[in-house]
Amino acid sequence: MEKRTVLFVDDDVIVLQSLERGLLDESYNKFFAKTCKEAHEILQQEEVHVIVTDMCMPEMTGLDLLRTARKEHSDIIGIVLSGYEQDTDLQNAVDQGEIFRLIMKPWKLGGTNFEKIVRQAVDQYNFQNGQRQSEDGKLEQCKAKLRKWIKLGSNK
C-alpha cells in the first residue's frame, strides 16, 4: 500500500517543532506549514491525505483551510486543533462530518490519543479510498459487460 501523507498546519513554530520531534517514528510522510499559504503550496506540490490544522490562524481559520483544500482534493481527511469548545461553526462542521476529529487544546504527544487519532484519520482515508476503488472497479466491470452485450447484439 502507498505511504500516506499528513500535513500539519499551525502558526506557532514551537508547536510544529514539537510535532515534528514527537511524530518522528510515525510511518506516514509528514509536512509542516506555519501559514495557510504554505499549506496551499504544499497541497499543490504533494499528494496529501490528512490535514491536521490549528483552528485560529491569522490568514484564515483551520476550518476555512480544510474547506478550501477540499475544493481541489475532496477526499482529504481533516483534524482540527482548537482551544474553543463553544465555536458554533466548528461544532456544526463536526456534526456534519466535515471534520474527522476535533482535538481540544492543550494536548500532549504521547500523553493523549493524539498519535492514535492521526493514525485513525489515515485509516479512514485508506477505507474511503479502497471503497472508491472498489466502486470504480465494479463500474468498469459493468461497462465491459455492456460493451460485450452491445457487440454481441450488433453481430446478429
- Domains in the chain: boundaries: 5-154
- Evaluate whether 109 touches 18 at the Cβ level (below 8 Å): yes
Q: What is the dihedral of CA 28, 31, 37, 40, to 10 degrees?
A: -30
pLDDT the model gives residue 153: 59
pTM given for the model:
0.80
Q: 114, 118, 65: which is closest to 90 by C-alpha? A: 65
CATH number for 5-154 (one of 3.40.50.2300, 2.60.120.620, 2.30.29.30, 3.20.20.30): it is 3.40.50.2300
User: What percentage of residues in the chain have a pLDDT greater than 70?
Assistant: 79
Grid coordinates representing 51? 490535514
Q: Is 145 helix (H, G, I), strand (E, B) or coil?
A: helix
List pLDDT tens digits, range 32-88.
Answer: 999 999 999 999 999 999 999 999 998 899 999 999 999 999 899 999 998 876 778
Q: What is the mean pLDDT of the chain?
A: 84
